[in-house]
């Protein structure tokens, strides 16, 4: 084997970090609906054909989450709430109340940070810490993981697998976190992508989005649930969604 030149070593030194970065952020391509629905139906939250999984991100939030719990009670519907660990420890009674009302909790991470730099040890610890915290408070161990911003990286995927969680994103969203969203626009966006077996994403908090946007999601919620039921679809949490989320190819396990 010929000796390795200094130029080759310098080139390798540049390419290796670039390669690691690509490997880290590569799974983020699943954020694209076309990629996710076609290649990773489990990651898109595809479940039973006559069921819709209703999910909420970014809570718990004492200013808004109770309003969603009341609205869901009035609708006779249950959902999966993807919670952030740092808010769980601040509002433990609200977390317990969510479970007491029949809802399911999933892991959204410890904080709502951006994932651009590889952080295998940190991601593993923060996901596991959130799982432990939810379990200690409620007696129920979470089954699901959704990364902040819906951006899946290799380290977040591995962290979820190590914690025994299945990663699930969504198949329909209302863009309810934006400042220009209205109840009608949220409903219309979800209706455009609403299919039996789908997973709907909304937000029960505005901590990481436009101020007061949760009012828009809350106002749209009754019509969204009614649209599902009019189409002959049941609405519930991911735990009732059937085998779809774990069947076929899945970037989350």
CA distance linking residue 253 with residue 245, whole number of Å: 10
Closest CA to 55 of 184, 148, 173, 139: 173
The 8-class DSSP code of residue 245 comes to G
CA distance linking residue 110 with residue 160, whole number of Å: 12
What are the residue numbers of the active site?
57, 203
Residues 6+ apart with CB under 8 A from 179: 210, 211, 213
Q: Is residue 86 within a helix (H) or strand (E), and if so which, with residue range? A: helix 85-88
* Helix axis angle, 65-75 to 92-100, nearest 10°: 10
Residue ranges of E strands in 50-205:
51-59, 80-83, 104-107, 144-145, 166-167, 172-173, 199-203
CA distance linking residue 70 with residue 65, whole number of Å: 9
Structural contact between residues 225 and 73, judged by C-beta atoms closer than 8 angstroms: no
CA distance linking residue 124 with residue 132, whole number of Å: 12
């Amino acid at each position: 084997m010929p000796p390795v030149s200094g130029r080759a070593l310098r080139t390798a030194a540049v390419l290796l970090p670039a390669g690691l970065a690509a490997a880290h952020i590569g799974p983020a391509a699943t954020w694209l609906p076309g990629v996710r629905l076609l290649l990773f139906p489990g990651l898109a939250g595809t479940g039973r054909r006559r069921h819709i999984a209703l999910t909420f991100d970014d809570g718990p939030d004492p200013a808004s989450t109770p309003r969603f719990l009341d609205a869901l009670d009035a609708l006779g519907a249950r959902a999966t709430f993807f919670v952030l660990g740092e808010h769980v420890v601040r509002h433990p009674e609200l977390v317990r109340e969510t479970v007491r009302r029949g809802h399911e909790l999933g892991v959204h991470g410890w904080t709502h940070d951006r994932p651009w730099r590889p952080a295998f040890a940190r991601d593993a610890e923060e996901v596991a810490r959130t799982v432990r915290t939810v379990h200690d408070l409620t007696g129920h161990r979470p089954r699901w993981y959704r990364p902040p911003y819906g951006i899946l990286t290799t380290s977040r995927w591995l962290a979820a697998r190590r914690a025994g969680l299945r990663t699930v994103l969504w198949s329909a969203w209302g863009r309810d976190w934006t400042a220009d969203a209205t109840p009608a626009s949220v409903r219309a966006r979800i209706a455009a992508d609403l299919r039996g077996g789908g997973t709907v994403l909304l937000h029960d908090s505005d901590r990481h989005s436009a101020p007061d946007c949760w009012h828009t999601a809350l106002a749209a919620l009754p019509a969204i649930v009614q649209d599902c039921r009019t189409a002959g679809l049941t609405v519930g949490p991911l735990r009732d969604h059937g085998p779809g989320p774990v069947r076929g190819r899945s970037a989350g396990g």
